[in-house]
Amino acid sequence: MKAYERLLNYVKVWTTSDEESGTKPSAQREFDLARLLVEEMKALGIEDARVDDKCYVYGTLPASQGLEEKPALGLIAHLDTAPDFSGKDVKPMIWENYSGEALTLPGGITLTPEMFPELARLKGRTLITSDGTTLLGADDKAGVAEIMTAAECLINEKIPHGKICIAFTPDEEIGGGAEDLDLAAFGAAFAYTVDGGAENEIEYENFNAARADFEICGRSVHTGEAKNRMINAALTACEINGMLPAAEIPACTEEREGFYHMTSISGTVESAKLSYIIRDHSAEHFEARMETLRLIEKIMNEKYGSGTVKLTTKEQYRNMLEKIRPHMHLIENVREVMKGLGMSAEERPVRGGTDGARLSFRGLPCPNLGTGGYAFHGPYEHITAEGMDTVVRLILGIVNKYAE
């Protein structure tokens, strides 16, 4: 079966994760795809395929005879789709011999090369989209499909390989995908997530990340008697935001430029709350950003009184580069395989995080490969059958490198 054919089946399974649920997995519907994959893996001959109580799918291809001493290679993708846009009742559309020009989907939205420049390069391919009323779900069901197709090739074509460890994780889109992966049960020495964009991407550098919340306690006094007495918490929240550099926001930054991103603001005279995510590739710049927030808390409390402003921060993930550097064979081998496939590797820092970053800090070095998809997390999402085929060949090439 072709990778895109698997994708067409998988995207019809509703697996949107739920950040508010507080359960593991965050949505029981993720088990629907997990169980389907276990059945499919067993049908392929992966005898130990299983799903645990937290919706992590595991399966192993034992090493070919004579290759038992080769390092165990892991392949990982995630089951859930992003809660940013509806992932229910996805109706995938196939556009054969795509023209490379503007394309209007049945839901009324139009993909244009001006908005998505890669569309011109995809001319002549088999383009896959949703109907425009939902996201497609190629993030990351394309990665799942590509790993499954590569596994089928290894088995059916009897391609020699070392031990291959497969895992499909829940809740990646809400930051929980790497938390409960049982590394001992998984069994890999190192791994790749297949969860990126263009098929020639290799990502091994990502943001350092934290969440920050300012809670503001105001003082409500009758407006007629408010002078030198009232502390308007909502206005204080605006004042706090005004102390941050106006240009250091996602809409004004790119590449390795970090930012402060306000995710929510709410408030009255009596109380208010500001929530931010903080991002920077540089550990030193990241710490400077966190220090800026602490300084703002100090200044506000000196101005309005102790306890007026409370800052709470939580580290979310760190830049995987420091954990990949000692294992640059992971990157060098991908470069070599891509070169052999006539591809030019695109290496750029991820302006976000990946399960691979968290896994790298848990002791499993894990860079990220592309899936061939674009415009994730919304109705403009698109991918090509040919791009997915290329990723399958890339995976097989990497497997071969580690069997040499």
Please report, rounded to a whole number, the percentage of residues in the chain having pLDDT higher than 70. Answer: 100
- Determine the pLDDT at residue 49: 98
Please state at what angle helix 138-156 crosses helix 3-10, rounded to 10 degrees.
Answer: 140
Q: Containing H/E element for 215? A: strand 208-217
Please report, in angstroms and rounded to a whole number, the separation of the first and last CA atoms in the chain.
Answer: 27
Residue 254 and residue 301 in one domain: yes
Residue 167 and residue 27 in one domain: yes
Residue 311 and residue 324 in one domain: no
Burial of 39 (0-12, 13-18, 19+ CB in 10 A): exposed
Residue 53 and residue 182 in one domain: yes
Q: Residue 225: which CATH number? A: 3.30.70.360
Reported as a pLDDT band with limits 50, 70 and 90, residue 354 is confident
pTM: 0.87
Residue 253: both structure tokens together: 């930054």
- Determine the pLDDT at residue 401: 97
pLDDT tens for 250-272 read 999 999 999 999 999 999 999 99
Residue 24 and residue 127 in one domain: yes
- Determine the pLDDT at residue 176: 84
Residue 69 and residue 165 in one domain: yes
Tokens 């800026």 sit at which residue?
Answer: 292
Average pLDDT of the chain, as a whole number: 96
Please determine, for residue 351, whether its predicted confidence score (pLDDT) is greater than 90: no
Residue 263 and residue 128 in one domain: no
pLDDT tens for 268-309 read 999 999 999 999 999 999 999 999 999 999 999 999 999 999
Please report, rounded to a whole number, the percentage of residues in the chain having pLDDT higher than 90. Answer: 94
- Determine the pLDDT at residue 177: 83
Active site residue 47: no
Q: Give the number of domains in the chain.
A: 2
User: 206: which DSSP letter?
Assistant: B
pLDDT tens for 96-127 read 999 999 999 999 999 999 999 999 999 999 99
Residue 162 and residue 228 in one domain: no
Please determine, for residue 368, whether its predicted confidence score (pLDDT) is greater than 90: yes
Active site residue 172: yes
| Domain hosting residue 352, numbered range | 3-205+319-401
Cis, peptide link before residue 25, omega less than 30° from 0: yes
Pairing of strands 73-78, 164-169: parallel
Residue 40 and residue 169 in one domain: yes
Q: Residue 182: which CATH number? A: 3.40.630.10
| Domain boundary residue, one of 269, 290, 317 | 317
Please determine, for residue 157, whether its predicted confidence score (pLDDT) is greater than 90: yes
Q: What is the DSSP string of 26-93?
A: S-TTHHHHHHHHHHHHHHHT-TT-EE-TTS-EEEEEPPPTT-TTSPPEEEEEE--B-TTS--SS---E
Residue 260 and residue 382 in one domain: no
- Determine the pLDDT at residue 260: 98
pLDDT tens for 18-65 read 988 989 999 999 999 999 999 999 999 999 999 999 999 999 999 999
| Domain boundary residue, one of 299, 317, 335 | 317
- Determine the pLDDT at residue 175: 82
Candidates 172, 195, 205, 381; catalytic one? 172
Count helices and strands in the chain by DSSP H and E runs: 11, 17
Measured in residues, the chain has a length of 404
- Determine the pLDDT at residue 54: 97
Residue 84 and residue 48 in one domain: yes
| Domain boundary residue, one of 317, 344, 379 | 317
Cβ atoms of 198 and 303 within 8 Å: the answer is: no
Angle, alpha carbons 6-8-10 (nearest 5°):
70
Distance (Å) of CA 3 to CA 163, 259, 367, 391 = 22, 37, 21, 9
Residue 21 and residue 134 in one domain: yes
Reported as a pLDDT band with limits 50, 70 and 90, residue 169 is very high
Candidates 18, 30, 80, 140; catalytic one? 80
